[in-house]
Structure 1
Amino acid sequence: MALIVDLSKYQDSDQIDWGKAKQLIDGLILRVQYGSLTLDKEYAKHVANAKKAGIPFMSYAYGHFVSIEDAKVEARDLIKRADKASAALILDVESLTLDSLRNKSELAAASQAYIDVLKAAGYKAGFYCSHNMYKAHHLDKVKADFLWLPRYGVNNGNKSTKPDWPCDLWQYTSKGNQPFYNGRLDLSDLNGNKGLDYFFGASKPKQETKPVNKPKPAAKVSALLKKGSKGSAVKSLQHDLITAGYSVGKSGADGDFGPATDAAVRKLQQDYRIGIDGVVGPQTKSALSKALAKKSKPSGKSVVPYPGHVLKRGNRGKDVQRIQRALGITVDGIFGKQTEAAVKAYQKRHGLSIDGIDGIVGKQTWNTLF
């Protein structure tokens, strides 16, 4: 039996006896963020203490995205914020994740997009989701490097009812008691064929372990995305191209690298003055990253001061258009039902407590948008 403990802001790092923890804990799972804007206030302390005690750890984030594109943004933020010593990065999907989505049917696709970003960055990517959501919301279709499921049963600190589905880690209680902390803890154990080394070893491939006399250039070439490629990586590419302002055709992000996607890639390559071949290699990926950064950065005209009054349903005009552009919805200058719903979802995701999650754009919501 392994003792794996996940920690967040609910466990004060200063209240943990790290000397005792070192003797008992096999691995830690530390929370980095809740969505993109709410950082876990104890993460840095937990990391510092875990390193000092020599306890290996993985890092996770509670998903609070509003769309597939937003899921990828949150994943990139997790990569930036997670300590580099993290053995793996994990997406946590629960009921509030579902609540934050504009289109509830996109939960599995958004989760997959998030995980694909982690994998593309070279990290071992894990997936955690509520037990009752796993099948009900098609989360069993999400492909990650490992699956972590909670199932508590009587939830008395001991193992009780196992998950209904095969998984690699089992979180068996949220009321665990351990001598190194005077409070309740979430405890997990191994639940498959993967050992502790799999979870708490190096997160990125060690290139130096590959035989130097067996290079595989052909494999590298085949990994490039180009006309004829299919799958989730192509779909993620298409989403990024659309976000950056390049049309991939009427079918949108369908995971099929066809003529329209090929044309979009070539246009990107032309705009950034790199070899125009329609193949997505390192230079093209770098160009796309620059295009996304440029697109997401407000221009001088978009950064405008708060108009001095709240904007709500029924309002019309240029200020409403600015809000709609920032939210990525239809721009018609009319603050209607769709705009109100988008504002509510945005406020909920970003924890805008001053205005309240009410669909009204006050000063705090305006300043956060721009």
Structure 2
Amino acid sequence: MRTLASVVVTLLVSVLLLGFLGPAASGAAPPTAGRQATCQRTLPSYPEIKRGTTSRAVRSLQCVLNDAGFGPVTVDGFYGPETQAAVKELTDGFECCIKNPLRVRTWYWVILFTASHKLGGLERGDSGIRVKTLQRALRADGETLAVDGAFGGQTERALMAFQENCQEKQTGRVDQQTLFNLSQGGCGAS
């Protein structure tokens, strides 16, 4: 028979383990599931963001930084030191010098969306999160389209407009050239 002391020790050890291992140790959803549930990645437009800004767009930026592997970043809507470190990690990979590199420009969004999911090969008839991500990237690049996860005529037209802007063959499919241009922030990036 267990003594009261052994039961207390067992409970303390369990609580400590849950603190270190998190909800995954108890079979609950991992911490990222809660963070993702609070994320709104689709915005009417993807604005330029300066350090020190507090906004819904910053919250979306933090979610996408996490999606693209530049986190973990706390999703709190404040562009503070943690978010700045993640943006710096992104911009450190750029080949050239950019004035005020920690100011998130609209084309950073295109890069982040492209990095967050594998978009290559998407075409008309596809659906799901990869298509939503492509739609967000195209919207960030200035195209007007709904983010609904269905690759139909609207998405095809927006993708072909992107391809035309990049002086590519207008295939309406995310081929290697299109994927490269998306990963570079589009063709109007400056």
TM range (shorter): 0.3 to 0.5
TM-score of the two chains, using structure 2 as the length reference: 0.38
The structure whose residues are more often helix, as a share, is: 2
Structure possessing the higher relative contact order (Cα contacts under 8 Å, 6 or more residues apart) = 2
TM-score of the two chains, using structure 1 as the length reference: 0.21
Greater C-alpha Rg = 1
The structure whose residues are more often strand, as a share, is: 1
